[in-house]
Structure 1
Amino acid sequence: MLKKYFGLALAVCLFLSTWGMAQSQATPSSSLGEQLGQEMAELHQGDRPIPTPLVAQAPRMPVQSEMVTYGTLEEKPLMGYLVAPADPSEALPAIVVIHEWWGLNDNIKMMSDRLAGEGYRVLAVDLYGGETADNPEEALQLVTKANNHPEQLFDNLALAYEYLKTEHNAPKVASLGWCFGGRWSLNMGLLLPDQLDAVVIYYGGGMVTDPEQLKTLEMPILGIFGELDQNPSVETVREFEATLQALGKTAEIHVYKGADHAFANPSGTRYNAKAAADAWEKTIAFLNRYLRGQESSTSNSEA
């Protein structure tokens, strides 16, 4: 066990050294966390995580959930939302879910329930230490604080992975995140390039396109993006896709016409039902293929 944790800690240190150099081109007048936070704030001007009846979508099969401690950082417990099918009969493939810039709120728990209803054990991590935001001003403070301490976020995700592997014997583990969590889903892949089994990115800002970093990835990647989004822009998404292709990586990248940032969030003001439904179908097919070895037919439309 100690050897495993030492390996993860070493991976964090090595990754931070390269990640920090790649991200150090932020403007000198502001910290990296502030810059990334401001970019997200611009995207979410006037936005609110407003609950709607759509949030209540039921999972495909009954699930059971609980809040669990999946690790400890700086002598503080890491609390996450763990959900799985009721009465699972075997060790299940697992998904680390990473929240949007609003935090681990009811919408993220609902999406975790839906994922678990597809036959997965899901751990929705908390990168904000128990806090959530109801408006962009609060979210900006939380995301800036988090981004200013990337080493803690990497440690958090490494412990989530280790928890699912050791406590629940997960045969395979994927990461999936939206917005802020989309970027950190990719970062988790970069942190554990030969351990994580799949990465799903929903419109993650601050995308890494550097071939030297992306070449380490060994897992398949699914990217879901909106045509109207500016963080990342379509140009950045296509650069990301072209780099992965040039490196011979397995990647599926989808850009939805007429869809904006956060289009898959049913509790947000930019929700695009048609695009979100198609993206969900592609996500489940991708996870089933690479975590279960199951092929399924999916829609080719990009709404």
Structure 2
Amino acid sequence: MKAFITFMLCAFLIVTTSCKQKSENKNNTEQSNQELPVKVKGEEVTYASDSTNLKGYVSFDENNQKKRPGILIVHEWWGHNDYVRKRADMLAELGYTAMAIDMYGDGKQANHPDDAGKFAMSVMTNLPEAKARFNAALELLKKQESVDEEKIAAIGYCFGGSVALTMANSGADLDAVAAFHSGVQLPVMPNKGLKARVLVCNGADDPFVSPESVVAFKTAMDSIQAKYEYVSYPGVKHSFTSKDADVNGEKFQLPLVYDADADKKSWESLQILLKETF
């Protein structure tokens, strides 16, 4: 009888310990499966083309250990500034790794439209160097630990939108491209080399984007049966996504006007593009 009681106590202890371990293992598994809160980390990076030193900014969620799509962001004609870095952080919050790139060299910025125009023109009239700078950024983005190099997009604002579209038309290995308040009369127009799905969001009252250039762009896209969307916001002018637009518009007597509704809608369209692409 004593031996039987001892046996039962031992069996009870074994079963209890086993259940406890299973419960602890289950809790640990549930904890490991729980998503950690988004923790955006931004890092300044330096890189170079053959002839130009460049300064960029990479932003990602450091609590996300998975590989994710990478997105290049090309700045407005003002240069690589806080605005383009903010957009990189916003994309990182959505689960992407974003890199705000430098198309002027050394992180150069313009404080006046005259300088901005000269900087932008120097890039758009020297396509080989523009490609070299863009591709240097593209290669650096692909090397980021958090990036799935098979899933890459590019977006751009104003001058940056024209750059992103031109690079895509030049055959850059991009899955998607989005351009905001961007010119569409490009150094390289849409052709069979275009691989990316394209989104363009412009203001209908943007004097920097002529109706003729829009027709030519759409005709070229249709001729190659490209997958694209061209959105035109009624009553909206240039630089509608930038909250600095009103100040700069008044300061330099330019038709730059921030539009909260168009900004919101265009950002939503970008999210749809990226989700459907990736």
Q: Under TM normalisation by the shorter chain, which class is it?
A: 0.7 to 0.9
Residue 283 of structure 1 corresponds to 270
The partner residue of 1:178 within 146, 157, 160 is: 157
- What are the superposed Cα offsets for residues 225-250 of structure 1, whole Å, 9 maximum, x if unpaired? 11011332233223322331232110
For the residue of structure 1 that corresponds to 2:132, the secondary structure is: helix
Instruction: Report the Cα offset of residue 148 of structure 1.
Output: 4.1
CA contact (8 A) 1:108 1:124 kept: yes
Change (3 A) 1:246 1:137: closer
Instruction: Report the Cα offset of residue 258 of structure 1.
Output: 0.5
Residue 123 of structure 1 corresponds to 99
Residue 245 of structure 1 corresponds to 222
Instruction: Name the CA distance, whole Å, in 1 between partners of 2:38 and 2:114.
Output: 37
Change (3 A) 1:247 1:234: same
Instruction: Name the CA distance, whole Å, in 1 between partners of 2:188 and 2:80.
Output: 29
Residue 232 of structure 2 corresponds to 255
For the residue of structure 2 that corresponds to 1:172, the secondary structure is: strand
CA contact (8 A) 2:184 2:213 kept: no
- Rg larger in structure: 2
Residue 183 of structure 2 corresponds to 205
State yes or no: 1:80 paired with 2:67: no
The partner residue of 1:189 within 165, 168, 180 is: 168
Range that drifts further, 92-101 or 129-138: 129-138
Instruction: Name the CA distance, whole Å, in 1 between partners of 2:80 and 2:131.
Output: 17
Instruction: Name the CA distance, whole Å, in 1 between partners of 2:48 and 2:64.
Output: 23
Kindly report which structure 2 residues correspond to 1:1-303, keeping only aligned pairs within 5 A, or say none: 61-74=38-51, 76-129=52-105, 130-168=107-145, 169-193=148-172, 195-205=173-183, 207-208=185-186, 213-269=190-246, 270-290=257-277, 292=278
Percent sequence identity over aligned pairs: 30
Instruction: Report the Cα offset of residue 69 of structure 1.
Output: 2.1
Instruction: Name the CA distance, whole Å, in 2 between partners of 1:109 and 1:131.
Output: 14
For the residue of structure 1 that corresponds to 2:149, the secondary structure is: coil
CA RMSD of aligned residues (A): 2.1
User: What code does the residue aligned with 1:189 have?
Assistant: A
Change (3 A) 1:147 1:217: closer
User: What code does the residue aligned with 2:215 have?
Assistant: R
| Structure-1-length-normalised TM-score | 0.70
Instruction: Name the CA distance, whole Å, in 1 between partners of 2:72 and 2:55.
Output: 13
Instruction: Report the Cα offset of residue 206 of structure 1.
Output: 5.0
Range that drifts further, 165-174 or 110-119: 165-174
* Greater relative CO (CA pairs within 8 A, separation 6+): 1
For the residue of structure 2 that corresponds to 1:78, the secondary structure is: strand
User: What code does the residue aligned with 1:87 have?
Assistant: N
Change (3 A) 1:209 1:139: closer
CA contact (8 A) 1:83 1:113 kept: yes
Range that drifts further, 164-173 or 93-102: 164-173
CA contact (8 A) 2:77 2:158 kept: yes
CA contact (8 A) 2:76 2:160 kept: yes
For the residue of structure 2 that corresponds to 1:73, the secondary structure is: coil
Gaps of 5+ in 2: 1-36, 247-256
Instruction: Name the CA distance, whole Å, in 2 between partners of 1:149 and 1:210.
Output: 12
| Structure-2-length-normalised TM-score | 0.76
Instruction: Report the Cα offset of residue 91 of structure 1.
Output: 1.3
For the residue of structure 1 that corresponds to 2:245, the secondary structure is: coil
Change (3 A) 1:209 1:162: closer
CA contact (8 A) 2:38 2:64 kept: no
Tell me the number of residue pairs that the alignment of Structure 1 and Structure 2 aligns: 229
Instruction: Name the CA distance, whole Å, in 2 between partners of 1:210 and 1:161.
Output: 19
CA contact (8 A) 2:169 2:188 kept: no
CA contact (8 A) 1:105 1:132 kept: yes
CA contact (8 A) 1:63 1:113 kept: yes
User: What code does the residue aligned with 1:234 have?
Assistant: P
